[in-house]
Amino acid sequence: MLFDKRLIFVTGKGGTGKTTLSAAIGKAASKMGKRVLVVDTSEGGALGTLFSRGALLSEPVDLDSNIQGVRINPKKVLEEYIQKYISIGFIANRIIRAELFEHLAEATPGLREIMTLGQIWRWEKRKDEQDEYIYDMIVVDTPATGHGISLLKQPRTLVEMLRFGPIAGQTRAVQEMLQNKDKTALFLVTAPEELPVNEAVQFIRVAEEELNMEIGRIVVNGLYSELFSPEEIVMIDKIPENGPNPEKKAYDIIIDSAKTYISRKRTQNYHVDRLQQSIGQELLRIPYFFTNALSELEIDAISGLLRQREPS
């Protein structure tokens, strides 16, 4: 069950709607009474705007009842980590210290990713005075780069290089958290188009073979609904196309729109079928919204769909 997990990494090709789905999963879980943290790993602030506010901050803030949001700044996490776990009080000069962090991060590719995951790991473990978890679920909107594979793969390569020391220790713990299938799942978002579907199929293979992580749910985002009946489609198909013509009548315009709709719907169906055939689980289908700026209303609608599909 997706909503039994404590940690969900939302992955997918850029432009498929990862951020939208991250927000919707967060909302759905909070409606089930869970305390949720949604995590933005990007440098923009898109996740915040879906909750009708600006870019998220580096400390969790309330977004809605039971939902907090945060944006991870790997540089800041690294600084805090070093201050907290490794005493370097002897470097008094803040500017030199900042420069050292910068060089350290530059010289160790992958350190930013590890710091991001390490921070998520600490939030996951965080408990209050009654020894209860502060968060029941953490939803991570992963970076668009290669489905966030580079983020999720990093622990392994870093451990290979380090083997010992505090960072290697933390990295091992992070690795365990990622591969704990009772606790952690991937949530794959794709779109009903050529490239997103191809990449989703590739990602499923990588998740199983290389990341050893579970894919909890696969969603196709932006699907046109079944507006016209099969008979109506046959009828509209029969109406001849009319080319570009500035004097179009109302009739031509609405038929053009209907033809557009039907043709896109066919392309979408083709790609969705292709995806469905190559995966083992049932796809969750999210409808298309006719706007290019989603708001909380659409997020609520999607979160409703996510909850419906979860047996109570």
Partner 1 sequence: MTFLEQLDKVGIVICCGSGGVGKTTISAALGIHGALTGRKTLVLTIDPANRLADSLGVGAFEHEEQRIPEEKFHSIGLRPSGELYAMMLDTARTFDRLISKYAISEAMRESILENRYYQHLSSTLAGSYEYMAMEKMFEIYNEKRYDLIILDTPPSRNALDFIEAPNRISNLFGNNLFRKILRPYMDAGKAGMKMFRLFASPFQHMIRKMFGGRVMDDLFDFFHLGDDTFLDGFRSRADAMKSILSGSDTLFLAAAGPNAAPMNEAMFLHQRLKESDLPFGGFIINRVHPLLPDIFQTPAFDEMEFDPDLLDKLIKNYRNFQALGISDALSVRQLAKTAGPGVKIQTIPYFEVDVFDFTGLYRIYEHLLET
Minimum Å gap between C-beta 57 and partner 1 is 18
Cα 65–Cα 69–Cα 73 angle in degrees, nearest 5: 165
The span from the CA of 21 to the CA of 12, in Å, is 10
31/265 with CB nearer partner 1: 265
C-beta of 295 vs 308, nearer to partner 1: 295
Shortest Cβ 209–partner 1 spacing (Å): 16
List the one residue out of 47, 66, 45 whose CA is nearest residue 55.
45
Which amino acid is present at 210? Answer: E
We find the least distance from the C-beta atom of residue 250 to partner 1, in angstroms, to be 4
Q: Which is nearer to partner 1, 176 or 232 (CB)?
A: 232
- As given in the structure block, the two tokens for residue 119 are 């921070």
Q: Which is closer to partner 1, CB of 21 or CB of 29?
A: 21
Least CB distance to partner 1 at residue 34 (A): 27
Helix/strand/coil (H, E, C) string of 186-253? Answer: EEEEECCCHHHHHHHHHHHHHHHHHHCCCEEEEEEEEECCCCCCHHHHHHHHHCCCCCCCCCCCHHHH
Tell me the C-alpha distance between 147 and 132, whole Å. Answer: 33
CA distance 69 to 63: 6
In this complex, which beta carbon is closest to partner 1, that of residue 246 or of residue 280? Answer: 246
What is the smallest separation between the CB atom of 82 and partner 1, expressed in angstroms? 7
Q: What's the closest the beta carbon of residue 165 comes to partner 1, in angstroms?
A: 3
Sheet holding 215-223, edge to edge: 61-64, 67-71, 36-40, 137-141, 7-12, 184-190, 215-223, 284-287
Distance of closest approach, residue 224 Cβ to partner 1, in angstroms: 10
What is the C-alpha separation between 164 and 157, in angstroms, rounded?
A: 13
Q: With contact defined as beta carbons under 8 Å apart, do 149 and 17 qualify? A: no
Nearer to partner 1, 90 or 209 (CB): 90
Q: Which of 137/189 has CB closer to partner 1?
A: 189
